Chain A
């Protein structure tokens, strides 16, 4: 029997493994020899274990890139690009609404109730969130903030950016995929030489 059967199955299903979603699996994948065994096992399926820059998330990447696969990756990337602005918007709204110092990071807890309450009290945020919820990516038809928030958070859970430890309790924890997204943003910024400031000299513009 394959020693890491459930781990392999989890990875194959397209999941990202991070410390928040699956701490035990994450710990295993942090070991070189475990990754080697799994890579060997996955070779006939043309897959291998890939990781983000700092090893915060593990996922499966193609081993060899055929033209068909490249075409598929291109489409996948384009889908991600379309979701990028709504995701970034959401991150900003959450940060502002909950009065956090920084952008949401893996392990951060968001209580839906608290988020709704704080957003409700703030006309500007309320409006921005309403627009965001109606975006194609979230696609909420609801008028009520509460229902909009539920849809948005559910969608984020489906996409792996959040996990919900208890199905019946409305609180969510950000996963390592949030970091993955930030890394992607940084990559695009560097590749395209976008005039997006990362240094603190421009901070007054945003505050």
Chain B
């Protein structure tokens, strides 16, 4: 009966105080963030209530009112604030409580005081859940930190510091786990199936899962720390070298290239672009080549020229005039081939017009040939003319006559259009 009354009292008081938290939620959160409660925001009566309810306290007369650590920790847990969340692993204290309650339960059972035994069992269950819950909470907090890469602190050095703290925490948690010994739990449970279920099966299972998670989180933390350190080292190296080079603008490193064993880092081969041209010396490729040619887009000027040719009425020529026209057309074609061969020779490689004439075994008179090369050059549209450079090789007609005679012509392909 008395315990029922007590429960009723606790219920009332607890409810009242929780409401107190709710009623002043914003002010309390403000205190959580700023570190101090704004005393001017509420009346003296409310202030006293909050202090009485063990929500606020004044650690020192010189300081303002602060949240009690349990309250701050509760808020940190509720909002998963990793910078404030604390994981306690006071395992030995918890274990003492579990042991005492288990013994008390067994005694009550022996005495036949079942209602008391039930109460003890309930307390024991809570104690066991508390213990495993603590680890769960701590591990959850560690994973959160890990997955956010300690995003709650800004600088890399702070992250490294936080990571080191987390390492210590993991260490303590692992030590705590080792305090729980299965053989002791088995002895404690004795013959009671209830205790066995709770202390041996449940606790053990949970703790071994926690143990595995802790090891996993520890490994990942180490990886992350290594990465942080490497990042830090790189940043410092870059900053340090940049600062050094700025302070020593005349800095010249040694000549490493003559070393007997040159590190690969400094041995970088010159680029080599394997050039390939269209080849028609293999009959089997002829079809593919023809296709390629067909696919090559025709330049607009060329199209225009073709259209002009088509639309222009062709003068009907007879006899000598016709023969002359054919010859003229052939000369023009040969000169065009010459221009193409200059293109094929590549950028910046001059080709001499008379050399080409001789090589190709063409039967044009040298002078006519040169004349046609020049007139073809002048007939090119300006933007295309820029692609070629025409150079005259000239000699004076004689010692007394300084009229320059064109002996030969060099034609050069200039890809970028430079004159």
Q: Determine how close the nearest CB of chain A comes to the CB of B80; give it in whole angstroms.
A: 22
Q: Is B85 an interface residue (CB 8 A)?
A: no
Q: Which residue on A lies nearest to B237, using beta carbons?
A: A198
The answer to whether residues A196 and B269 also contact, given A101-B231, A185-B237 and a CB cut-off of 8 A, is no
B residues 322-350 near A (Cβ < 8 Å) are none
Partner of A50, one of B228, B245, B258, B267: B267
A residues 135-194 near B (Cβ < 8 Å) are 180, 182-189, 191-192, 194
Q: How large is the interface on A (under 10, 10 to 19, 20 to 34, 35 or more residues)?
A: 35 or more
Contact B232 A200 (CB under 8 A): yes
CA distance A207 to B254 in the complex (A): 31
Q: Determine how close the nearest CB of chain B comes to the CB of A125; give it in whole angstroms.
A: 14
Contact A196 B156 (CB under 8 A): no
CA distance A68 to B382 in the complex (A): 43
Contact B269 A61 (CB under 8 A): yes
Q: Is A12 an interface residue (CB 8 A)?
A: yes
Query: Which stretch from B107-115, B135-143, B166-174, B270-278 is at the chain A interface?
Result: B270-278
B155: A residues at CB distance < 8 A:
101, 207
Partner of A14, one of B228, B244, B253, B270: B270
B residues 253-295 near A (Cβ < 8 Å) are 253-258, 262-274
A-B contact count (CB 8 A): 142
Contact B234 A73 (CB under 8 A): no
Q: Determine how close the nearest CB of chain B comes to the CB of A38; give it in whole angstroms.
A: 13
A103: B residues at CB distance < 8 A:
231, 234-235, 238
Contact A85 B232 (CB under 8 A): no
A185: B residues at CB distance < 8 A:
237-238, 241
Contact A65 B241 (CB under 8 A): no
CA distance A163 to B13 in the complex (A): 66
Partner of A206, one of B235, B263, B266: B235
Q: Is A70 an interface residue (CB 8 A)?
A: yes
Q: Which residue on B lies nearest to A99, using beta carbons?
A: B154
Contact A12 B257 (CB under 8 A): no
Query: Which stretch from A22-30, A87-95, A115-123 is at the chain B interface?
Result: A87-95
B266: A residues at CB distance < 8 A:
73, 77, 184, 187
Q: Determine how close the nearest CB of chain A comes to the CB of B267; give it in whole angstroms.
A: 4
Contact A202 B236 (CB under 8 A): yes
Q: Determine how close the nearest CB of chain B comes to the CB of A165; give it in whole angstroms.
A: 23
Q: Is A98 an interface residue (CB 8 A)?
A: no
Partner of A65, one of B240, B245, B262: B262
The answer to whether residues A12 and B237 also contact, given A61-B264, A61-B267 and a CB cut-off of 8 A, is no
Contact A13 B271 (CB under 8 A): yes
CA distance A93 to B369 in the complex (A): 62
Q: Is B239 an interface residue (CB 8 A)?
A: yes
CA distance A95 to B239 in the complex (A): 11
Binding site for A on B (CB under 8 A): 155-157, 159-160, 228-246, 252-258, 262-274
- Interchain residue pairs with CB less than 8 A apart (16): A14-B271, A70-B258, A73-B257, A85-B246, A88-B245, A101-B159, A101-B231, A102-B234, A184-B265, A185-B237, A187-B265, A189-B241, A198-B236, A198-B237, A207-B155, A207-B157
Other contacts beyond A61-B264, A200-B157: 18, CB < 8 A: A45-B272, A46-B269, A52-B265, A65-B267, A77-B266, A81-B253, A85-B242, A92-B242, A180-B265, A182-B234, A186-B237, A187-B263, A188-B241, A196-B240, A200-B160, A200-B232, A206-B235, A207-B157
